[in-house]
Amino acid sequence: MNYFHYVENELWCEEVPVTNIAEEVGTPFYLYSHRTLDRHFNVFDEAFADVPHIICFSSKANSNIAILRVIIKKGGGMDIVSGGELYRALLAGVDPKKVVYSGVGKREDEIRFAIENEILMFNVESSQELEIINFCAGKMNKRARISLRVNPDVDSKTHSYISTGLKENKFGINIHNAFDEYHQAKKLEHIDIIGIDCHIGSQITKVSPFLDALGRLTNLINLLREDDIDIQYLDLGGGLGITYDEENPPHPTEYAEAIISRAKGINCTFIFEPGRVIMGNAGILVSRVLYTKSNADKNFIIVDAGMNDLIRPSLYNSYHQIQAVIQKERGLFSADVVGPICESGDFLAKNRVVPRFERGDLLAVMSAGAYSFSMSSNYNSRPRVAEVLVKDDQYYVIKRRETYEDIVRGEDIPGFLQE
């Protein structure tokens, strides 16, 4: 459920007509609903009310510091995957004791930055990484808390590019080696083992893969405890899917009930790293139709947002609903909604039945709150678009549109080229 809705054929976000924002901010822009974000967080949080838990929002889904701030003020923590994300989380005021750090390729400077800030734990993805964390902590006269990210080898039945829990994926430590790896970790002088972690993929629309993974993790926890390795945190990652089109993912309450009942008696603090389920349907991308054209057997709607602004359709062939910001009496037709980028892969929708849009119309690309702005780029030297947050009847520009100066910032013509 979200708070993008029609009032007399006009799309509003909460109490603000989208057209008003487009007129003042220009297009394209991302538009987020505070009330939707708030609701999604609450639903997820309340679903786990009966067990100790920390919700570490996956900040790569949407890393705007205003969005992070909303989550932090609600008691959430952060799942980070880089030093840059730690920097953002700290800027937004995160409690470092609620930060978990995942990722297969943590650099030493990033590891030191995280140790210095005393984050809750590193989700360690290889034995070499473990040694480097130990080495860095020793140099800094500190201790580092860790969990091992275990790859449980379960099929999450999602798109292969966003599946992460199969043994052929690059993520985590193979479940069969994890026991030995924990014993290695126990020998390291500057390491405290506190948890176990997995993240099996994204946009998962069934409960069973999560339960399979959980079962494998709880078995391992029990084995480790027999050997005096006390696991206090059980991090199940993120991955719960949302409805883009006709998917029917489990409601967070159903997901939570299944997990809580499967993990009965395990006596851990749960950590979850949801991203998409919190932010995906809390945002849209608003774009204006530049031109329409037809050739022999195809209609094209050319809009001012392209794959540099929203890459998900090009990257994963993912589906986003296209809606008119102002609904008019006009027929439907089948068309490709494409951007201005010089790539054939630059499309927002393909062979889609949409209203007969005309030049100047505004359209909304729905479910664009997660992995959308955060994946945008300056390709074709296009300034990144603005991000706007609506709360009730007010809106706030939480990232201004980039200028041409912004896009060349840091570039330099060396002296030998300057005559």
Binding residues vs ligand PLP (CB under 6 A) = 58, 60-61, 79, 81, 102, 199, 202, 237-240, 273-277, 370
Q: Which is nearer to ligand PLP, 55 or 301 (CB)?
A: 55
For residue 291, the minimal CB distance to ligand PLP (Å) is 34
> What angle separates helix 252-262 from helix 208-226, to the nearest 10 degrees?
30
For residue 122, the minimal CB distance to ligand PLP (Å) is 12
For residue 213, the minimal CB distance to ligand PLP (Å) is 12
CA-to-CA dists, residue 192 to 58, 70, 143, angstroms: 24, 31, 7
Q: Cα(330)–Cα(166) distance, rounded to whole angstroms?
A: 47
**Annotated catalytic residue: which of 13, 56, 136, 342?**
342
Coil, strand, or helix at residue 307?
coil
CA-to-CA dists, residue 248 to 1, 55, 124, 203, angstroms: 13, 23, 33, 11
For residue 204, the minimal CB distance to ligand PLP (Å) is 7
Tokens of 162: 């966003």
Q: Which is nearer to ligand PLP, 14 or 79 (CB)?
A: 79
Using an 8 Å Cβ cutoff, are 279 and 362 in contact? no
For residue 233, the minimal CB distance to ligand PLP (Å) is 14
For residue 275, the minimal CB distance to ligand PLP (Å) is 3
Q: Which is nearer to ligand PLP, 182 or 255 (CB)?
A: 255
For residue 401, the minimal CB distance to ligand PLP (Å) is 26
Q: Which is nearer to ligand PLP, 199 or 399 (CB)?
A: 199
Coil, strand, or helix at residue 225?
helix
Q: Residue 400 class from Cβ within 10 Å (0-12 exposed, 13-18 middle, 19+ buried)?
A: middle
Q: Cα(11)–Cα(144) distance, rounded to whole angstroms?
A: 49
Q: Give me the DSSP letters along 357-414.
A: --TT-EEEE-S-SSSSGGG---GGGPPPPEEEEEETTEEEEEEPPP-HHHHHTT----
Active-site residue, 342 included = yes
Q: Cα(326)–Cα(8) distance, rounded to whole angstroms?
A: 9
In the DSSP assignment, the letter for residue 291 is: E
Helix (H) or strand (E) holding 122: strand 121-124
Coil, strand, or helix at residue 270?
strand
Q: Which is nearer to ligand PLP, 56 or 301 (CB)?
A: 56
Q: Which is nearer to ligand PLP, 277 or 338 (CB)?
A: 277
Q: Which is nearer to ligand PLP, 170 or 359 (CB)?
A: 170
Q: Cα(91)–Cα(107) distance, rounded to whole angstroms?
A: 21
Could you list the active site residues?
342
